[in-house]
A and B are shown apart, each in its own frame.
Chain A
C-alpha cells in the first residue's frame, strides 16, 4: 500500500475521531477499547496485530479514492484472515440478528394485523442463510487453503481463482430490502422504529460492501501473489 492518511505513530483515539466508521475495523482486528493515549503501533503490538496490515486496511477503507498497487508482500495474511473471520462473526452472530429483531418489532408496531410479518421474516431469514453459506465457504474452504499455502503446502488442487470466480455479491437482497422499505412499505403511525431498522440495513449493507472490498482488492490479490511466487519457485 502506498503511504496513506493514517500513520503508525498516530494516536489510536485520533484515528477514530477522524473517521468514526473505523471503530468497526478496529474491533474486527480484535483491538479492545480503552486506548488511552497509545499510538496505533503500540496498540497493535500489544495485541499481536500486524501494524502494517492494520494500517493498510484502515487507509484502504477510509480513502474516498483508492489506488491499487502490487505491494502485497508486506501484508500479514494471518492478520487479514483474522480480520475477515471476525467480520463474518460480526455479521452472522451480531448485526443480522439485531436487524431481524428490530425489523420484527417495527412490523409489529406499524402493522397491527401483522399480516406481513411472516413474509418479511421469511425474506430476511432466506437472506441470512445466503450470507451464511457464502461466509462459511470462506471460513471452511478458502481460509484453511490459504493457511496451508502459507506453510508452503502445494498438495492442494485448489487455487484462489476458484474463489474469485464464485465470489458473488451478497448485498443485492439487502438493497432490495432497503428499497421495499423506502418505496413500498405501507407504514402507518409512528415510524421511528422503522427508520431505525432502515438505518441499520443501510449501514449493514455498506459494511458488507466494505468487507467484500477488502476481500476483492486486498485478500485475493495478496493470495494470487503468493501463488505466483510459489509457482515460479517450483518451476525453477
Chain B
C-alpha cells in the first residue's frame, strides 16, 4: 500500500460516533494528502484491525483503553513504527499525553491537525515546500535515466553507465515516479514513446509487439 507515496492509513479509535465520523471527514478534506481513515468503536477489535489494516497512525481517545493498553499496542506494532496520537476531548494531564507521539484536541483546526500529523512523518511541510519549489518537469539527468529504464537496463547497469551509485539511481527513479505520477516501467515506456524521448525502433529488443 505504501507504494502510493502520500497514502497515509489512519485508524481512529473513539467511542463517540459523532466525533469519530467528524474526524474522518476532516482528515479526508486535508488537501495535498491522501488520508485513508478506518474507524473502530470498540477496543476489542483493535488488535485485529491493527493486524489486517496495518495503519500508519492510530488516533485514540485516551479514555478508550481497556484491557489493551498502549504498551501492548506498541509491542504489537513494533515493526511497523505505528504513531499513536491522543484524541483529546476533555482536560487531560500532560503526564498522560506525554506517552503519545502527539495529541489532537477536538477543537484543533484542520490546519493544526494536518501539521501535527505531517510532522510525525517525512512528508513534513518544509519538505513539501522544497519539492514544490523544485521543478516538476524532469531534469535532463532524469530524462536520461527514463530512456535507459525504458530500454530495459537494470538500476545497476544504469549506475555503471552513468558512473553513479545504484542508490542515486533509485533516488532518481523515485523522483521520476513522483513527478510523472507514473509508477510502472510499462507506464514509463508509454510515456517515453509518446513524448518522443525514445523511438519505437530503439526499444524493439525488449519490447516485442
State the A residues within 8 Å of B (CB): 2, 64-70, 115-116, 118-120, 122-123, 126-127, 164, 169, 172-173, 175-177, 179-180, 183-186, 216-217, 220-221, 224
Contact = CB atoms under 8 A, between A and B. Distances in A.
A167 B39 CA distance: 22
Interface SS of B by simple majority: helix
Contacts of A116: 190, 193-194
A81 to B, nearest CB: 19
Nearest to A185: B194
Nearest to B47: A70
Nearest to A172: B183
Given A69-B42, A123-B186, A175-B183, 12 more contacts: A2-B41, A65-B24, A67-B20, A67-B38, A69-B41, A69-B45, A116-B190, A172-B3, A172-B183, A176-B183, A185-B194, A224-B52
B1 interface: yes
Interface in B1-23: 1, 3, 20-21
B182 A179 contact: yes
Given A122-B209, A180-B191, A184-B191, A65 B37 contact: yes
A173 B180 CA distance: 13
For chain B, give the interface size range: 20 to 34
B112 interface: no
B93 interface: no
Contacts of B207: 122
Interchain residue pairs A-B with the least CB separation, the first 10? A176-B187, A65-B24, A179-B181, A67-B39, A176-B182, A118-B209, A119-B193, A123-B190, A173-B184, A176-B184
Interface in B102-156: none
Interface of B: 1, 3, 20-21, 24-25, 37-42, 44-45, 48-49, 52-53, 180-184, 186-187, 189-191, 193-195, 200, 207, 209
A127 B21 CA distance: 37
Contacts of B186: 123, 126-127, 173, 176
A221 B45 CA distance: 12
A120 B187 CA distance: 9
A224 B49 CA distance: 12
Given A122-B207, A180-B187, A216-B52, A68 B193 contact: no
B184 A172 contact: yes
Contacts of A221: 48, 52
Nearest to A122: B209
Contacts of B189: 119, 123
Contacts of B41: 2, 67, 69
B46 to A, nearest CB: 10
A126 B200 CA distance: 17
